[in-house]
Structure formats: C-alpha cells, structure tokens
Chains A and B, each alone.
Chain A
Amino acid sequence: MAEIKVHSDVTGTAWKIVVSEGQTVEEGDELIIAEAMKMEIPHVAPESGIVKKICIEEGASISEDDLLFIIET
C-alpha cells in the first residue's frame, strides 16, 4: 500500500469536490474541479486507488501546491 498526495495546480477555490472519502477511483477520474480566474481546472487521480482523505472543504480558498487529497493505492 502506498499513499499518493494530490496537490493543487492553482490558487483559487475548491469549486466542486467530485468524490467522497472511501470511494474507489480509477486513474484519470476527476477528483475536484478547482476554479480560478473564471476557469474550471479539473484535477484527476494520478493512479487508481481509494480516496483516503479529503484535505479541503468545498468552496474553500486554496493555494497552489496545497494538499487536496490522499489516495491509497
């Protein structure tokens, strides 16, 4: 078992969290849609696994490189 950390690509808001904790995701599945400067920026699972922890709240401000998710593979 390994843990993968998913960080934010942008500074903006955690516009829509698409998954919930404990959910199984495939590589490439959408985890969250961040929003910055009128753009939607989807973040996808880099590998298949289980969403172990969601580290942000929907609607919250996020900064570039903030930890968003921990995925257990």
Chain B
Amino acid sequence: MSTTLRRKPGKRGHAASEASTVEPRDADGADDTKALPAVAAAENGWFRPSAGGWFARAAAWVLLLWLILAVPANVLSPFDFGVSDINLAIAAVIFAIIGLSLNVLIGYAGQLSLGHQAFVGIGAFASAYVVTNLGLGFWFGVVVAAGFGAVQALALGAVSLRVTGLYFALVSLAYGTFAENSLFAVSEITGGEGGKPADRPAGFAEDQMYYFLCLAFLVLVLWLDWRLTRSKGGRALQALRENPRVAASYGIDVRRYTLLAFVVSGTFAGIGGALMAHHQQIIVPGIFDFQLALIFVVMTVVGGLRNRIGVVIGSAFFAGLGEGGGSEGGGFLERTIGLPAEFTGIVIGPFLLLIVITLLPGGIGQLIGPVKDWMLGKRFDRNAGKLKEVEVSDVRA
C-alpha cells in the first residue's frame, strides 16, 4: 500500500483541465507518490547495547517489577511488608493516578487547576454513593465516578474557554472551595462529617489484593495517557498550548480539544477518587480541602510536567510524605532539627517544590531521564530528559 500525498485528489471539485499553463496532475492521486523520493527507514546509527548491556537492563527491569509486584505481596522478599506499608503503597498508586490526571490539565492543556480536590472528591463520593446507597457493585461505582468526574470537568472546561490563564486558576480555586463547602456538605451524598462507607469489591477486600487492583487501574491510566500523547488528541493539545493560532490553522478545533483534555483529566480524577474512597472504606469530606489541592499541584510539578514516569514517582513520593511515611528520614530530622515524622511531608514537601522549580524545571522526570532511557535500551546519556527552554515556559497564561 503506498502512501499518497494528495489523499483526495480533486476532492474540492476543481477540474485539472482548467489550468492550461500547468501540466495536469494525475487523476489518480496514488501516482503522485512516484514523484516523491523513497524514504529509507531512519535506523542508521541506531544504538544496540552489548550482551552485558542487555543483561544489566534486564536485571534492572526485574528489580523494578520485583519492587512493585513481589515486595508488597511479601513474595520472594526478605522484607516484612506490614499493614501500614501496604496502605502507603496503595495511597502512592492512587496519588499517581491523580497526578496523571492533573498532568493532563496543567501539562498538556496548560490549564492550572487549583480545585482538583473537587474532581477527586466528586469521584470518591459518587462511587461510595453507588455502592452504599444504591447497593450496586464497586465496578459500577468506578464507572459512575469516572463519568461524574468527566461531566463536572466538562462544565469547568466550558468556563475555561471564556476565562483563560491565571484567571481560570482562580475560578478553579473558587470551584474547589465551593465543592468543599457546598457539595460535600450535603450529608445524603457524603454522609456528613462522619463520612460515607465505601466497601471494597469482593475478592479485593484484603489490602494486598486491593493494592494490585489499584495498580491495574494505574496501568490502564498510564496506557491511556501514553496513547493520548502519541495520537491526534495529544498532538493537538501540544499545538494549541504552544501556539493556538498555528493549531487553528492546521484545522484543530481549539474548543473541542481543550474540552477533551478536561474530560480525560476528570475521568482519571474520578477513578482516583473512587479508588481513594474504597481504600479508606469510610470516606470523609473533610480531607478534600484546599491544602490537598495544593499538594496535588505540588506533586505534579515536582514530578515534572509532561513527564509520565516523573509524575508517577513525584505523586507516590508525596503520598508517602502525606501518609506519615519516610519515618526513617523523619527520625533523623527529629533528632537534628526536632521535626516529628508526621510533619515531614508538609514541611519538607514545599521546600522540595521550591528547589525543583528554581533549580530543576523538569522535576523528578528530568532527574530520572537518563535511567529511563537506559532502561529502554538507549545509551546512557547524562543529558537525557533535560528540558529545552521553550518547553519550560509554555503553559497557557
């Protein structure tokens, strides 16, 4: 099958014979290709690791999978992964999903959301309501949560078409505050301050199993996010973030694709919210406050905007800090500067953020760039993943 340059020859109905000064084109567009130079596969100079190199990479992958899959299950592992550890791991996976959700908005669409706690909370309570009040199953709950997440994001997205840049950030902030104080105060939906029960699905009630369930959702979200960036929609978003005029001149409908980003982000956030609700099993409205929204933004930016793996690591890291993790490091800080472990996250986190944005604009993604490329079979390059100037300063504002 040959590729044609003119996909639809004469599709706009102009007859070739009208122009006498120019040789008429072939009626069959496929023949146009003849005039084009053949393009060789651009594989020359491709780096191939040595046998040892392959082995080292394979070993790194096995180690990574072991850490993610075996250690939490206490299989083939010398560690004793306890209840608090597995809960930390679950929180990390859920935060990673939320981070990816926010990355779609801030990173891809260039829209700063300071009300993401509302996106997540709406998903959480939608799923809890479906499972507890309607008696429908967890799977139905997740779908409804994703749907509600998408619909409320769509509504906010419609606002973003009129109110842009930093002003939209304010609207999202007000929206988050409104959700926190109004929506989540409706006790039929949220169960009031006592919260709403949200049971886990049969077979996944155990922490370990629930962890793997969340992991499966993270893989799904990663797949969707990856395909988004590698397909039409992601490219359209990049074009309209960097240069809306050029995007429009390519025939990209700016409104449609901005809304698409909101819907994708809302769906991811809804899923994350549902998983969060069933993780905690009783979900209370009080946790969805502005501080949580700020932490979502911080973890995404520290992870590295538009860097999938960086965002996952950054989010997991902040989940750990927030859930009272890092007790070893905390112990050290407690001894030296008297900082108790439970405050490590909220004290150290913001300073990490400030360090990242002033010194390391690509975040964690920039740090791990060389390792990631190496593991994907490329040569180890210290500069891999370093951000270009233009990429740092292209959020719509």
B is bound to A: no
